[in-house]
Amino acid sequence: MVKIEDITPMAKIGDKGPAEIPLMKAEPQVDTPTDGLQQLKERSTKQLHKPQFLGNSPLDLLFQSLEVALQDVNLDDPIGTLYSSLFQGATHASDSHMRLAVTDKLLAQLLAIQVQTIAAKAENRDIISIALHDLKTFSKVLNLLLVQCVYPALPTNVGIPLDQRRLKTFKKRLTVSKVTDTDESFALLMLLQRQLTAVFSKDGDVRDLLMKGTGYSDYLIITMTLVTHPAFVERQKALPTAERVTLEDFSLVEQLSSTYELFSTYSLLMTIRSPVYFKGFVTRRITHLPVDRADGVRALIEFIVGLRDGEDVSIERFDHVARIVLSKPQEMPTAAYFSNVCSQLYDILVLINQPVLTSVAAYVVEKLFERNKLVCRDFFFKLIWSNLSPSPETKQEEVKKRDEESKTTDQEVALTITGEAKLNNTINVLISVSKKSSSGFLQALLEPVLLPLWAYAMFVKRSKKLTEVVTNILVSFFAITDNSTLLDMVAKNLLFQSAGWAFQTGPNGLVVIEATRPAVQVTNERFFEDVEVAVELYIGLLGDLSDSLLQGQFLRIVQRWMGVETVEKLGETENPFVMLMDLRLLEGIGKKYKDRLARSPKEILDLVEYVLKGFLAESAPQPEYTAIIPGSSVKEEADSDDEDDFQDDGTGLASSTASLTVVLELLSAIITETNPAELSSTCFTVVTSIQGLLAQLEANTAAQALLSRINTLLSGEQRPASKSEADAKTLTVAITSLNDPLIPIRAHGLYLLRELVNKKSDVVGLDFVVELHLAQLKDPEPFIYLNVIKGLEALLEWDRGKTLPLLVDLYQKDGNVDERLRIGEVLLRFIQSTNEAFAGAWADLVVGTTLRMIRRDGEADNRMRMSAMSLLGVCCKTNPAAISRHVSDALDCTLGILQLEKEQDAAIMRRAAIVLVHDLIMGSNGLDGFPKSYGLKCLNCLRYITETDVDLLTREQAANVAELMRELINDKLMANAEVIPQSYNRFRI
């Protein structure tokens, strides 16, 4: 006989099955005998579960009376027993009357408990008001309501199956006597909904216990049933408006629970074969949760990725989240949906201390950018742009708001446009998204606000605060985009200032953006201080970038210094002090990075040649300056007043001399640091040109010394130019980036390696690149190892014959389980991507390896065995014909697990084995490709598992697959029956 106490209180249930979460910490439950009060007294004399002290408070007395009333419940006639116990002296009535009366009485007792607990709580708010030994009675009241009142009234296949809530004793069959009369069901559900609403409307211990265990989920399902069931909806029309249960009432019930728990409950309800009206309602609710709740997207990510359960992160779950978030409900306007979702993603990206959560959010944003750039710009990018670079319209709105609130137009009052929290959150979002390796995404995001971001870095540097955070963002941006044009734009605008706003220090010491007041004259001393700060910050930024960006920017500055490039400042006329800043940059870069500039001699040699030509051109004698007056044949000399101006502006030769000094030092470094054998023929051509130019500088001793060394250099052997110089440089940058402490730089290094692999460059060796990826596979940062997985996929596409055996060997060898599981994910994605091309030796290799790993061998980790079974299932679904000769072996392994591995901790293996049977059936074109000798074996085995397994989820899965097999058999029989010749129809009975 099954006891009411055997029912486990409602658990918090997710899509992976119910997890047993006890309603309360009570003493161990035991079966209460049903043969009378005498045995209960005998147990009491043995002091089993009998408290030594019984209180006399109203709450204690209430529980004591309930314990006596509920101590003997005969499950052969539970309603009759309860009715006689709860209503002393009452005569038996109809079943419907007694059930309704019992339900009302139990709910009244629940309300009474709530009233008393609230009164007791007022005296001591620090502890739960219900005594520990009374919690069992409280649980019994709830379980009786659940089994005898709620489930009988619910329509068939509505609600969570009762067996899934009895995790401790689910092997004992418990049947629920369904109420068949619609009017009776309606009355019961209305009573339950009304009384539970009264209970949940008040805070206290009772409500807390119901929210955490049995109670809330039933309250939610009851309310959903009343607002969706056609018959119940129709009956409510006859009720007064105040007594009806409406969608507004359902919304209030739904608001009681957290979003995460709603996802758990709704996802479980989605797996049940509910009526169309009910399942359709659940589907609409689960699709609207991400936008109806402020934390909807975050809860969705946590639920799907399994963050609260500590599960392994996989890129498939990232894709799953992206597909759901980017799938707009049809009835919602596009602007409203994406405005809501992007705002939530922005808030998630602020949480930089939760790397997995922000990685998923950034992944979703990038997928949105790939799908629709305009939507991403309008609803996500602009959230960042508006905070980091406020528009004039934003300023006007803030001014109007300030004037309305303060009733003043005092221009001396500072106006904050972007507050401390907003600006700090924006920087956090940039930190999170800068980990993405898509150059197009980052450039589209940061290019419009690059100069404001630089100005922010300048302000932080000038305020002597920590600049590492913002400089890391800039380093990540330039390293990933490799955009020398934008880097030079920053160099031209080192002292960038907006016309309408400026950075200031807020009341809490953080940075804010305030509207600027009438311009204040900047002193020369302050200007030169700002120049030094800007030059120092910019040179430090260059030091963290690649050699190619450093050298390219150095060349641009020299060209600008020589007057070849026009200086164009954004929003400003040409600044006469730009030349000063360029000079400081040239000196600083030349001194600090002379060795790095010499690492790639070709560009620097071109620079040296260019500067020498410019210097010699300026040093040449100039013709006398004359002017021709229009309409006259008389030549006139320039006005003497202009001579002074010409002399004051005659710094060109001095500037060229400074440039000459810098490039001669660079040329000396190249000659010293570079092995002549490493110079290509194009380099020797440029050196020959430089040789002739140096010969013309007879008065410059440094130039003549270098000329002597060049003569010696040119006497050596020249090497032909390499066709793979660019790839070799990219490989060097990639390897260097992999050792960088910044996550975005390491991720970009993996991206560069993947690009070389995709183009099948000669500079990379297969074994070497695989080793580089495997070394990064150990990185705990999700974004890094997800890029590794993509890189290994690219290697498989490049050379499957070499890469696949190597990865399969690493997958089956003993080692770090997490790394092997990630390699398994690479193999899984490879199988799915090759589709029907997955056949022959590749299929035999993978399938043979998985079969060996599935067999239990010594201390084999079950996680690896499950991974191997997943791979085998994907192989069957992808190309069943390719593995047809292995199906029998796969079924032998599966049946062996189901029949021999009976331990409780082996339940996950039995579940995986059942899933594999399902994959084999579906992948083999139903039962047609299924080995005939195994069909009955599998069906009988699944039936046996359904009846006897100690794990509830295993039993459910086995029942579902067995049902699928029966349906397929019936379909096959019906198809065979249809082909019987018509002439035989008369023999049918």
Mean of the pLDDT values across residues 439-456?
93
Query: Whole-angstrom Cα distance, residue 423 to residue 838?
Result: 51
Q: pLDDT, tens digit, for every residue of 351-391?
A: 999 988 999 999 999 999 999 999 999 999 999 999 998 87
The predicted pLDDT at position 344 comes to 96
Note every long-range contact of 81-86, with CB atoms under 8 Å and residues 24 or more positions apart, other chains counting: 82/106, 82/144, 82/148
Out of 467-471, 558-562, 674-678, 765-769, which region has the weakest mean confidence (pLDDT)?
A: 674-678
Of 400, 385, 394, the C-alpha closest to 447 is: 385
Q: Predicted confidence band at 752 (pLDDT cuts at 50, 70, 90)?
A: confident
Q: pLDDT, tens digit, for every residue of 629-648?
A: 334 343 444 444 444 443 44
Of 985, 983, 986, 939, the C-alpha closest to 958 is: 939
Q: 835 exposed, middle or buried (CB, 10 Å; 0-12, 13-18, 19+)? A: exposed
Q: Which two tokens stand for residue 897?
A: 């697990």
Q: Which two tokens stand for residue 389?
A: 């670079």
For residue 169, the number of C-alpha atoms closer than 13 Å in the C-beta half-sphere is: 15
Out of 463-467, 661-665, 777-781, 951-955, which region has the weakest mean confidence (pLDDT)?
A: 661-665
Q: 755 exposed, middle or buried (CB, 10 Å; 0-12, 13-18, 19+)? A: middle
Mean pLDDT, rounded, of the chain: 79
Cα-Cα-Cα-Cα dihedral of 240, 245, 249, 253, to 10°? 140
Out of 304-318, 396-410, 551-565, 631-645, which region has the weakest mean confidence (pLDDT)?
A: 631-645
Better pLDDT: 297 or 670: 297
The predicted pLDDT at position 272 comes to 86
pLDDT at 959 over 50: yes
Please work out, in degrees rounded to the nearest 5, the angle formed at the alpha carbon of residue 270 by the alpha carbons of 269 and 274.
75
Distances (CA, A) of 553 to 33, 482, 488, 626: 87, 12, 6, 38
The predicted pLDDT at position 907 comes to 85
Out of 105-109, 422-426, 969-973, which region has the weakest mean confidence (pLDDT)?
A: 969-973
pLDDT at 757 over 50: yes
Mean of the pLDDT values across residues 225-236?
94
Out of 93-107, 292-306, 461-475, 960-974, which region has the weakest mean confidence (pLDDT)?
A: 960-974
Q: pLDDT, tens digit, for every residue of 383-423?
A: 999 999 887 666 566 656 655 555 544 444 568 888 999 99
pLDDT at 39 over 50: no
Q: Predicted confidence band at 721 (pLDDT cuts at 50, 70, 90)?
A: very low
Query: Whole-angstrom Cα distance, residue 840 to residue 953?
Result: 36
Out of 264-268, 658-662, 839-843, which region has the weakest mean confidence (pLDDT)?
A: 658-662
Q: pLDDT, tens digit, for every residue of 870-879?
A: 888 888 888 7
Positive or negative, the CA dihedral 47, 48, 52, 56 is negative
Mean of the pLDDT values across residues 526-542?
88
Query: Whole-angstrom Cα distance, residue 768 to residue 889?
Result: 36
The predicted pLDDT at position 366 comes to 93
Residue type, 936: L
The predicted pLDDT at position 360 comes to 92
Task: Provide the 8-state DSSP code for 55.
Answer: -
pLDDT at 899 over 70: yes
Q: Which two tokens stand for residue 928?
A: 């047609």
pLDDT at 893 over 80: yes
Query: Whole-angstrom Cα distance, residue 289 to residue 296?
Result: 6
Contact 671, 709 (CB under 8 A): yes
The predicted pLDDT at position 191 comes to 94
Query: Whole-angstrom Cα distance, residue 209 to residue 136?
Result: 12
Helix (H) or strand (E) holding 960: helix 952-978
Dump the DSSP string for 196-250.
HHHHHTS-SHHHHHHHHSTTHHHHHHHHHHHHH-HHHHHHHTTS-GGG---HHHH
For residue 267, the number of C-alpha atoms closer than 13 Å in the C-beta half-sphere is: 18
The predicted pLDDT at position 645 comes to 42
Q: Predicted confidence band at 443 (pLDDT cuts at 50, 70, 90)?
A: very high
Percent of the chain with pLDDT over 70: 78
Domain boundaries 722-837, corresponding CATH code: 1.25.40
Contact 753, 734 (CB under 8 A): yes
For residue 851, the number of C-alpha atoms closer than 13 Å in the C-beta half-sphere is: 19
The predicted pLDDT at position 432 comes to 92
Distances (CA, A) of 313 to 150, 362, 408, 812: 39, 15, 55, 21
| Distance of alpha carbon 69 from the chain centroid | 53
Rg for the chain, CA atoms, rounded? 39
Better pLDDT: 6 or 758: 758
Dump the DSSP string for 272-324.
S---HHHHHHHHHHHHHHHHHSTTHHHHHHHHHHTTTTTPPP-HHHHHHHHHH
Query: Whole-angstrom Cα distance, residue 170 to residue 952?
Result: 7
Contact 328, 334 (CB under 8 A): yes
pLDDT at 895 over 70: yes
| Distance of alpha carbon 910 from the chain centroid | 31
